Amino acid sequence: MIKEKVIEILVDELGVDAEEVVESANIQDDLGADSLAIVEIVMAFEDEFDIKIPEEDAAKMITVKDIIDYLEKEVG
User: Among this protein's residues, is 34 annotated catalytic?
Assistant: yes
Please identify which of the residues 34, 47, 50, 66 carries the catalytic annotation.
34
DSSP string, the chain: -HHHHHHHHHHHHH---GGG--TT-BTTTTT---HHHHHHHHHHHHHHHT----HHHHTT--BHHHHHHHHHHHH-
* Residues identified as active-site: 34
